[in-house]
Amino acid sequence: MDFILSQLAGFGAAFVGLAVDPLTYLYLIASVFLGITFGALPGLTATLAVTILTGFFGNKIPLDYSLIALLGAYVGAIYGGSYPSILLNIPGTAASAATAMDGYPLAKAGRGGEALGLTTTASFIGTVIGTITLLIFVWALLLVSKNIASPEKALLALFGILLSGTLMSEDLVIKGWIAGLIGLAMSMVGLDPLLSEPRYTFGWSYLMSGFQVVPVLMGAFAIPQIIEGLRHVEAGKILALKGRILPNLRSIRRYLPTIGRSGVIGTGVGALPGVGEDVAGWVSYGVGKTVSAEGDKFGKGSLEGLLCSETANNACIGGALIPLLVLGIPGSPPAAALMGAFKINNVIPGPTIDPEIILRVVAILVLASLTMFLMGLFTARVFIRILAIPQTIFLPVVMVLTTIGSFSVGGGINDLYLMLGVGAVAYFMNLMKYPIAPLVIGVILGSLFDETFRRSLFLSDGDLSVFFSRPGAAILLVLNIGLILSQLPVAKRAFSRLKGLSV
């Protein structure tokens, strides 16, 4: 009990410290507004918002303000995608795809204001549920951190790369693994972290410091998205927003069990590395349709269906930060971009992270969700006007911001070449249905795997038993091997036979 009270006191101190600082609100309002704008404009995403702000702020401002800007944009963008979903039937982000199923029919029926009010409230509650869960996992972090050494870190990093590749692949799992291993190979370019010897630099001085994280993020996430947005311009007629944008408290009370269930589902899905908010929304929507007594109304303008999607995709934010902060493995593409910001600030997420940083992250999420809630209720019509901006105007502006952000990190033209090169590779990978998130996760986690794997071998004089003689390492090794074997055709056929016999 004393330990729990001390953690709550630490959260309270972090919250008050941020709340009394006037600059906190300046960064919060600006970043949440930017995030909602990115979410509301079809073709832009939360990942792109976080990536661009990482390039602009990165390590140029204190870590607290950088986290406020990045998390504010993250929370705002996931919520902002509901605007075009409801009024255009075009999901602003993949996370809001399920929202369009019931949001657009409600708007067509003249209940768009009610739908936006419920969406805003559900997004706020979902974010708070995910944040509370994240706070609980601070204690789990402190309990396991003492048992994590180099062998466990190496196997954990490898597991994160393999798992993200497994979960993010559209068709063949091997494509996700290949993408992750490409990122792992990219992370080994530069000076050897243990011997300070150059590797794979080919005499080019720029590569001595390895591939910079921000240009890689910009190229991988922004360039393909901008090209696709310009190739497939989506246009639609914005429905008139009727009704007051206020939360329907009667509906909130009626569907409290749905909100609670969706928050838990969203947090749980978010905690799976590399999955993301779009999967959380669809899983919650599917479960809600199955268990609800009004399941036949889903897709026809159901308030319950709307709450299922919007609660889950925002709860996923806190869930995605759990593996990032506790294990050092991003739970979603925006969390991968956020990890890049940690890395350039010399903060290594994982079991050895300072718990005070997690408490500040929790406090920032609470403040960001409150800002998003108030902004959504009182400035919604501003964002509706933003929907009228053509993609052919705002996507080139995003390209300019991406270029500036990438250039500002190192101040060299080579960073732009890296961004464009990675962007070209990522675009063609997308065409061939190779997931991009595992590549980025491989770049970020690859240096951790490389350093800890080789350090373990140095300390054990090359004895590989160090990776299974320790209990924690043995469990992680089994998980890695089991994950690979489970995707073999033989294993899948055996699982199908067992499933058929059980039926």
Rounded Cα gap, residues 483 and 356, in angstroms: 33
Pairing relation of β-strands 190-191 and 198-199? antiparallel
Report which DSSP code applies to 218: I
Give me the pLDDT at residue 428, please. 92
Alpha carbon 204 to chain centroid, angstroms: 33
Give me the pLDDT at residue 503, please. 46
Alpha carbon 390 to chain centroid, angstroms: 26
Cα–Cα nearest to 73, from 403, 405, 301: 405
Instruction: State the pTM of this model.
Output: 0.81
Q: pLDDT grade, residue 92 (50/70/90)?
A: low
Cα–Cα nearest to 34, from 383, 404, 389, 370: 383
The arithmetic mean of pLDDT across residues 245-264, rounded, is: 83
Burial zone of 4 (CB within 10 Å; 0-12 exposed, 13-18 middle, 19+ buried)? exposed
Q: Which two tokens stand for residue 192?
A: 């050897």
Q: Mind listing the pLDDT tens digit for each residue in 401-431?
A: 788 777 766 667 888 888 889 989 999 998 8
Give me the pLDDT at residue 387, please. 72
Q: 335: helix, coil or strand?
A: helix
Rounded Cα gap, residues 206 and 416, in angstroms: 12
Q: How far is CA 425 from CA 3, 160, 197, 207, 405, in A?
A: 49, 22, 28, 18, 20
Q: pLDDT grade, residue 237 (50/70/90)?
A: low
Give me the pLDDT at residue 409, please. 64
Residue 358 has pLDDT above 80, yes or no: yes
Contact 331, 323 (CB under 8 A): yes
Q: Which two tokens stand for residue 26?
A: 């300046």
What values do phi and psi take at 184, rounded to 5?
Answer: -60, -40
Residue 197 has pLDDT above 80, yes or no: yes
198: left (phi over 0), alpha (psi -120 to 50) or beta: beta
Element (H or E) spanning 198, and its range? strand 198-199
